[in-house]
């Protein structure tokens, strides 16, 4: 589990990602898929600091958020006092009511390090989806990402929010090719008059996937893929999968 989502770092995440991610576009993207498949409600896994929650709520859509980090949920609750978020692990969770759609957003699938993690998550999603329910998630494409990390040793991102400049320096090391896992090390700074002040660090191990691997995991968990979308996000080439629960 990454340290980016705990304590003070959760606040840094929230501030910086407001610049990295166009949450209006993100909401529009997922909402279009949900509405197109006639779903009346949604569970968002990896709901983070509640940016999509805000937009679903403002549009009167029946939304529930789920995240592992209580610190991320606390920020999400501040942003959305009327929305329900549950603290749970995507690898094994149970809802009281099944959902028409379950989405895993913002490359949260990168934290599914082992095959057991992936199967546990897909099986939990299956159990908590209503009949013909829709499962939609993104993942980082290993075929494009691994060469990128080899060619770009230092990765720098700038962000500005509420007049404060942020700066992130990170690098990827291939941890083991057993599962296409990588260690991410990043330092976060504020920038004032070109002076960098360290505000925190993030160390995490993430996994990237090939499309074939994901197809097989879905097959093994009784899902039928209905759409595969090639989607570039702020720093990553991803695929988004829309799959239907088979009976």
Residues that bind ligand SAM (CB under 6 A): 1, 5, 17, 21, 45-46, 48, 51, 67-69, 72, 89-91, 105-108, 111
Asked if residue 180 lies in contact with residue 210, where contact means CB atoms within 8 angstroms, the answer is: yes
Closest CB to ligand SAM among residues 131, 235? 235
Q: Which lies closer to ligand SAM via its Cβ, residue 94 or residue 193?
A: 94
Burial of residue 38, with CB atoms counted within 10 A of its CB: 0-12 exposed, 13-18 middle, 19 or more buried = exposed
Sheet holding 181-192, edge to edge: 155-161, 164-176, 181-192, 195-207
CB of 190 to ligand SAM, least distance (A): 20
Give the 3-state secondary structure of residue 136: strand
Q: Would you say 48 or 200 has its CB closer to ligand SAM?
A: 48
Residue 100 or 117 with smaller CB distance to ligand SAM: 117
User: CB 47 → ligand SAM: shortest distance, Å?
Assistant: 6
CB contact set of 231 (below 8 Å; sequence gap of 6+): 29, 138, 238, 239, 240
Minimum distance of ligand SAM from residue 118's CB (angstroms): 11
Q: By Cβ distance, which residue is nearest to ligand SAM?
A: 106
Q: Which is nearer to ligand SAM, 89 or 160 (CB)?
A: 89
The maximal CA–CA distance of the chain, rounded, in angstroms, is 60
Based on C-alpha coordinates, what's the Rg of the chain? 18
How buried is 164 (Cβ within 10 angstroms: 0-12 exposed, 13-18 middle, 19+ buried)?
A: exposed
Taking the complex as a whole, the smallest distance from the CB of residue 44 to ligand SAM amounts, in Å, to: 7
Minimum CB separation of residue 5 from ligand SAM in Å reads 4
């Amino acid at each position: 589990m990454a340290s980016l989502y705990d304590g003070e770092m959760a606040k840094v995440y929230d501030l910086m990602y407001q610049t990295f991610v166009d949450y209006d576009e993100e909401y529009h993207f997922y909402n279009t898929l949900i509405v197109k498949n006639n779903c009346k409600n949604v569970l968002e896994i990896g709901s983070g600091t509640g940016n999509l929650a805000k937009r679903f709520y403002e549009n009167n859509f029946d939304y529930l958020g789920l995240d592992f980090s209580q610190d991320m949920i606390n920020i999400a609750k501040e942003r959305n006092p009327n929305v329900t978020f549950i603290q749970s692990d995507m690898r094994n969770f149970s809802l009281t009511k099944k959902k028409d759609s379950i989405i895993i957003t913002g490359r949260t699938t990168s934290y599914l390090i082992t095959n057991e993690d992936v199967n546990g998550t897909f099986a939990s999603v299956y159990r908590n989806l209503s009949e013909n329910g829709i499962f939609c998630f993104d993942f980082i494409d290993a075929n494009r990402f691994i060469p990128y990390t080899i060619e770009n040793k230092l990765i720098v991102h700038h962000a500005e929010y509420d007049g404060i400049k942020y700066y992130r320096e990170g690098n990827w090391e291939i941890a083991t090719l057993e599962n296409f896992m990588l260690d991410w090390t990043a330092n976060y700074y504020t920038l004032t008059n070109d002076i960098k002040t360290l505000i925190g660090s993030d160390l995490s191990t993430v996994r990237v996937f090939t499309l074939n691997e994901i197809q097989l995991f879905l097959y093994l968990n009784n899902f039928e893929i209905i759409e595969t979308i090639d989607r570039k996000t702020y720093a990553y080439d991803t695929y988004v999968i829309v799959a239907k629960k088979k009976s």
